[in-house]
Chain A
């Protein structure tokens, strides 16, 4: 089966840096994606890692260690609009299996 674990909630202040961790156990693992979802909205794609290392996209970076079955999403210069839920998702074949999501609350 597939399972992904991530913290349920994280709180940080505006301007700070926050890291959301994700550990996974999947068969046929291909890569790890991250999605953002605002309350009442649809999940939207943030980043993808197939190889070990760091991928940077503006204020957001994502890291993968295949040997440790571990990844994280790093959000820098936090803004109030970053308050949302963040999901890691393991790709296996053409299918995505999602973690339970981390609710990020950014405070002023």
Chain B
């Protein structure tokens, strides 16, 4: 089976609210995790990454949390905007050459 997965395939959020997207992984050897955003008709775009020696990392309006004990990763988006509507993927790797992706969560922002 695949090494990463997401808890929910879809998420609907009110504009201005915070969004939380969850991801579970099973590979204990994973040491590098990335969140990607894919808009319709485009390739996945890097959002933020985190290494296994960290449990939190913040970017601009985004925060990634890593809980290695339960093998859980989450992406928090603050003050969600219409432009945040997209499919979000978590990905993990334990080597230099292969990222394994979860199935994706489709986020829809309601005006």
B is a partner of A = no
Residue ranges of A at the interface with B (Cβ–Cβ < 8 Å):
none
